[in-house]
Structure 1
Amino acid sequence: MTPPVTGRRRLRPLTTAVAGVVGTAAVTVALVATGTLSVAQGRVGQGARQLGDPDYGVCRGTDARCYHDWGNFDTAKGYKVLLYTRTAGPRHANLGPALAPGMNPPLTETNTVQKALLTMGADNGFQVDYTEDVSQLASPATLFKYNAVVFYSTSRDTLDDAAQTSLRQYIRGGGGFVGVHNAFGTEYNWPWYEGLLGNANFYDHGANQPGTVETVNRKDVSTKNLPSRWEFSDEWYNLVPAPTKVRVLAEVDESTLAKGVAGNYHHPGHGDNHPVAWCQYYDGGRAWLTTLGHDAKDFTTDGSFPGAAEFQKLLLGGIESAMGKAPFCK
């Protein structure tokens, strides 16, 4: 028998399965911690329960055998990322005004995300193309020119049928995907995409406020240079469903959120298990995800915005690992 747990135990996002009641027998609750596949012991945080664990019919999780190394990427030619920021609904201010059609159209001073990732790529040895033109995603042959595709605060139905098919074929052929912030508010009615996010979707969020991020896995390239706890401000997304079969990398400590975690649609938060970054293999490809990234100040470099440097390290590591430039999901 597992000994009782003392003190505060950090649990990973989990699924609650309720066994049937036989006669007067008590209900047994089995809790599976998805980050390490260990069984939770004795307690659960006071957050939302039973948020769903559907089967997407693909190989997914932390087992590298789910990855398809089919020779679609020649790294001798260097590394290249496609940044996609099209919005078909709410648009975050850090994206700036909508972009003109085509690839790499002119940017304004307020297209903060696009400019920041261009700088990140230039400083770290990979090329970044950017677009909000869905026709640029219409062919798998086009996507296979990129080692990873980054969806940064896209929203709603941002892909048409051709782009959906193309993205799925790209991932199945070993492509890398990075989903940032409102990538979780995208393609709500496409189950395959929900699975790509780790069996997760944006439901609501509370106040945009400071909080403490806990780095719960420091082996991954995206987190190995981060402190165990660091301050940051964000909207702290609440998720339905919540991620399963993933490796959780970072969580927010809900007790540090002075304005509370309950969302505008009354999600009660995730209690002791509120993930903000994770990774998984999915349907042949690699997927690295974070709900962080709301504010344009996330990309400041002068130390004026707490956690900006840590967020940039997190994101850079996620991009580099998703595209195969660094080890993935360790």
Structure 2
Amino acid sequence: MKIIRRLSLIVLLFVICLGAFVYFFLRSQGMFREPQYDQDRPTDLKVKMPAVLVFDKTNGFIHKDAIPAANEMLSQLAKKNGWSLYHTDNAAVHNVEDLSKFQTVIWNNVSGDVLTEPQRQAFKAYLSNGGGFVALHASGGDPKYAWDWYVKDLIKAQFKGHPLFPQKQSGTLVVESPDDPIVAHLPSRWVMDDEWYSFDKSPRPGVEVLLSIDETSYSPKMAGTDISMGSDHPMIWKHCLGNGRALYSALGHYAEIYRDMNYSRLVEQSIIWASGKSGAPCKASVAN
């Protein structure tokens, strides 16, 4: 009996230690935090047209490798195209006056609930009045949102999971709009390694899907749970929102993706489209 009690105690201590390790590891990645909301506007905002806002606040999981890699890519694209780029993690930049200075707003792996109600309303007004929006990876991949409009009207789909064991897998992306400048440079079937998001449903109808993924090319299981979407599994799509333009890319968990020339060009063309410099004009056909 003493041996059994000792073994039980050892097992219990192991479980406690393992649980503590997992908790503190996840906390170091940004989990289990109370949201922090910004109230004071940035004081150093000086841009000239054409201007691009890059926003990367995290109140949830922190993509510690992807965020700086994406910021570096975006800085290079700004320099190449002559964009005046302003980067911040201060959510208070989402106000009517400051947003009016930008043609496009890019959310770089934003996570968690980040905007106050006045900031939400300013952002909605910016988009409906003709602003552009590009959301990268985690910006549409949080398991739970406090802002239904963001999911239902802006992103158009709810993230439900990604593969685990293994998390990083080779997958085949299928170009669905080969004549669109955003993806025209890609092969019809583009093979790359990433963490592949699944959603509760397809964002169709109401969006133009640029890239989807062939689920037969990887294993859409999350720790044994089937998270497949079937034959309609979009990964990058765009749509109009009022007079504004919105594009979401589920790609980009790993830093090397932002160093891939094919993806860099895709994001570049996405920003150009979102800013209204390519494609047909959007019309105010979607309710605010």
Q: Same fold per TM (> 0.5)? A: yes
* Larger RCO, structures 1/2 (Cα 8 Å, 6+ apart): 1
Which residue of structure 2 lines up, in the alignment, with residue 242 of structure 1?
A: 202
Q: How many angstroms does 1:232 deviate by?
A: 1.2
Structure 1 residue 135 corresponds to structure 2 residue 86: no
Unaligned runs of 5+ in 1: 1-76, 97-110, 301-307
Q: What is the rounded CA distance, in whole Å, between the counterparts of 1:189 and 1:273 in structure 2?
A: 27
Which residue of structure 1 lines up, in the alignment, with residue 214 of structure 2?
A: 253
Q: How many angstroms does 1:87 deviate by?
A: 0.4
* 3-state DSSP of counterpart to 2:221: coil
Contact 1:196 1:287 in 2 (8 A): no
Correspondence list, 1:85-100, <5 A: 85-95=56-66
Which residue of structure 1 lines up, in the alignment, with residue 79 of structure 2?
A: 122
- Residue 131 to residue 153, structure 1, CA distance change in 2 (3 Å): same
Q: What is the rounded CA distance, in whole Å, between the counterparts of 2:280 and 2:53 in structure 1?
A: 19
Which residue of structure 2 lines up, in the alignment, with residue 42 of structure 1?
A: none
Q: Deviations over 1:93-122 (max 9, x none)?
A: 2255xxxxxxxxxxxxxx222122011111
Work out which of the residue numbers 243, 248, 257 in structure 2 matches 1:284: 243
Work out which of the residue numbers 106, 115, 140 in structure 2 matches 1:184: 140
Which residue of structure 2 lines up, in the alignment, with residue 70 of structure 1?
A: none
Structure 1 residue 210 corresponds to structure 2 residue 176: no
Which residue of structure 2 lines up, in the alignment, with residue 175 of structure 1?
A: 131
1:221 partner amino acid: P
Q: Deviations over 1:113-163 (max 9, x none)?
A: 2122011111123221111011222x1121011001111110010212222
Q: Deviations over 1:138-197 (max 9, x none)?
A: x11210110011111100102122221111110111111111101113571312111344
Structure 1 residue 296 corresponds to structure 2 residue 267: no
Structure number with the higher helix fraction is 2
* 3-state DSSP of counterpart to 1:93: coil
Correspondence list, 1:1-330, <5 A: 78-95=49-66, 111-137=68-94, 139-186=95-142, 188-206=145-163, 207-244=167-204, 245-257=206-218, 260-264=219-223, 266-300=225-259, 308-327=260-279
Larger Rg computed on CA atoms: 2
Q: How many angstroms does 1:264 deviate by?
A: 4.5
- Residue 265 to residue 171, structure 1, CA distance change in 2 (3 Å): farther
Q: What is the rounded CA distance, in whole Å, between the counterparts of 1:140 and 1:297 in structure 2?
A: 35
Q: How many angstroms does 1:265 deviate by?
A: 8.4
Q: What is the rounded CA distance, in whole Å, between the counterparts of 1:188 and 1:208 in structure 2?
A: 25
- Residue 151 to residue 201, structure 1, CA distance change in 2 (3 Å): same
Q: How many angstroms does 1:287 deviate by?
A: 0.6
Q: What is the rounded CA distance, in whole Å, between the counterparts of 1:153 and 1:265 in structure 2?
A: 26
Q: What is the rounded CA distance, in whole Å, between the counterparts of 1:136 and 1:298 in structure 2?
A: 28
Q: Deviations over 1:212-258 (max 9, x none)?
A: 1111111222011211111111111011243121111111111111x
Contact 1:204 1:264 in 2 (8 A): no
- Residue 325 to residue 125, structure 1, CA distance change in 2 (3 Å): farther
Which residue of structure 1 lines up, in the alignment, with residue 29 of structure 2?
A: none
With structure 1 as the length reference, what TM-score do the two structures score? 0.65
State the superposition RMSD in angstroms.
2.0
1:166 partner amino acid: A
Q: What is the rounded CA distance, in whole Å, between the counterparts of 1:196 and 1:210 in structure 2?
A: 31
1:93 partner amino acid: K
State how many pairs are aligned: 230
* 3-state DSSP of counterpart to 2:62: coil
Q: How many angstroms does 1:84 deviate by?
A: 0.7
* 3-state DSSP of counterpart to 1:113: helix
* 3-state DSSP of counterpart to 2:59: coil
Q: What is the rounded CA distance, in whole Å, between the counterparts of 2:263 and 2:217 in structure 1?
A: 18
